[in-house]
Amino acid sequence: MKKYNVTVNGTAYEITLEAVDAADVKAAPAPAAAPAAAPAPAAKPVTGGETVSSPMPGTILSVNVTNGATVKKGDVLMVLEAMKMENEIMSPCDGTVTSVNVSKGAAVETGAVLCVIG
């Protein structure tokens, strides 16, 4: 057994560590798998209009539009979480949303069609 003094955030602790043989070490149980996010619905064919694509891989935190909604350029269509940052996906033009291809919680890849504005 070895004793060590450790300071964490300004508080001093005295700890004792026990040396063990490699033969005595048991394999640690595998961590439980985190529940997977719901996969994105299959993309509908795009027949016309302005497509709004995912700029990066991530998870859809919220969808602020529905089919038939009227949007203005710069309106927030949805929020995409990527690398622990929330990214607002904004409308590139004025128009009417003709197709919403993702739902809240969906995992998307770069270039995935999020919605279409006609």
Q: What's the token pair of residue 83?
A: 């690398």
Residue range 16-58, pLDDT digits in tens:
877 777 666 666 566 666 555 555 555 444 456 899 999 999 9
End-to-end CA distance of the chain: 72
Helix (H, G, I), strand (E, B) or coil at 31: coil
Residue with tokens 């009227």: 70
Q: Where are the domains of the chain?
A: 50-117
Residue with tokens 């595998």: 30
Residue range 56-113, pLDDT digits in tens:
999 999 999 999 999 999 999 999 999 889 999 999 999 999 999 999 999 999 999 9
| β-pair partners for 10 | none
CA distance 36 to 55: 21
Under CATH, which number does the domain 50-117 receive?
2.40.50.100
Alpha-carbon dihedral angle through residues 95, 62, 31, 110, given to the nearest 10 degrees: 20
pTM of the model: 0.59
